[in-house]
Chain A
Amino acid sequence: NAGVTQTPKFRVLKTGQSMTLLCAQDMNHEYMYWYRQDPGMGLRLIHYSVGEGTTAKGEVPDGYNVSRLKKQNFLLGLESAAPSQTSVYFCASSYSWGMGNQPQHFGDGTRLSIL
């Protein structure tokens, strides 16, 4: 009963380093999303995907790239980490846009610190 799994849970990076956050879902959802949560800002959409092989920009895409090579996985990459990217990152998935009786399901988050 895994749902949405995010890896890793915590990470500390130095400015300029790169890393990839992995999101995996086992619910056969078409739609997947990456959000960041910052104090006083709520969740903001970084990138999203409406199906395997497709990605699109969200509200705050700069400095991030994504890939959806397999339906169950959605990867978020930071090519050159900056302190402004210190945040908690959440992945979510849903059958459609996540309304009605099929809302978005979230992972438990990745806490990322950039020094």
Chain B
Amino acid sequence: DQQVKQNSPSLSVQEGRISILNCDYTNSMFDYFLWYKKYPAEGPTFLISISSIKDKNEDGRFTVFLNKSAKHLSLHIVPSQPGDSAVYFCAASGNSWGKLQFGAGTQVVVTP
């Protein structure tokens, strides 16, 4: 039973435009959320995170939004660049146990 869901397996976006990746979760005990980025033949690398006490966190071109009432978070990449082409994983955790639950990932392709 997947508690973290990324319902869009793929996303294609033009260079310079905004990429919006979505993630839904079912466990109301989750209070910490992360996004990881993964290139082929490499391990995931941490991108950005957000605590449940916030509804937005920004780091350069990357912004994560959290809507707790909807149990939904999104990652915005503005502007999208060719180097952003990768698989993006959403992950969630509760402070009381800490283990991460990952979504299935969204493949982003940024076209020139």
Contacts and interface: CB of A to CB of B under 8 A. Distances in A.
A34 interface: no
A16 interface: no
Contacts of B44: 43, 90, 106
Given A43-B102, A48-B99, A97 B43 contact: no
A42 B36 CA distance: 11
Interface residues of A, number: 25
B100 A104 contact: yes
A99 B99 contact: no
B89 interface: yes
A106 B98 contact: no
Interface size class of B (residues with CB under 8 A): 20 to 34
Given A99-B98, A103-B34, A103-B49, A42 B105 contact: yes
A90 B43 contact: yes
A104 B46 contact: yes
Contacts of A104: 46, 100
Given A48-B99, A108-B43, 19 more contacts: A4-B43, A40-B104, A42-B2, A42-B105, A43-B44, A58-B99, A96-B98, A97-B93, A98-B98, A98-B100, A103-B49, A104-B46, A105-B46, A106-B43, A106-B44, A107-B43, A108-B41, A109-B42, A109-B43
Interface of A: 4, 35, 40-45, 48, 58-59, 90, 92, 96-100, 103-109
Interface of B: 2, 4, 6, 9, 32, 34, 36, 41-46, 49, 89, 91, 93, 95, 98-100, 102-105
Q: Which 9 A-B pairs have the closest CB atoms?
A: A97-B98, A106-B43, A103-B46, A42-B102, A43-B102, A42-B104, A99-B32, A108-B43, A106-B44
30 contacts: A4-B43, A35-B102, A40-B9, A40-B104, A42-B4, A42-B6, A43-B44, A43-B100, A43-B102, A44-B102, A45-B99, A45-B100, A48-B99, A59-B99, A90-B43, A96-B98, A97-B98, A97-B100, A98-B93, A98-B98, A99-B32, A99-B34, A99-B95, A99-B98, A103-B34, A106-B36, A106-B44, A108-B41, A108-B42, A109-B41
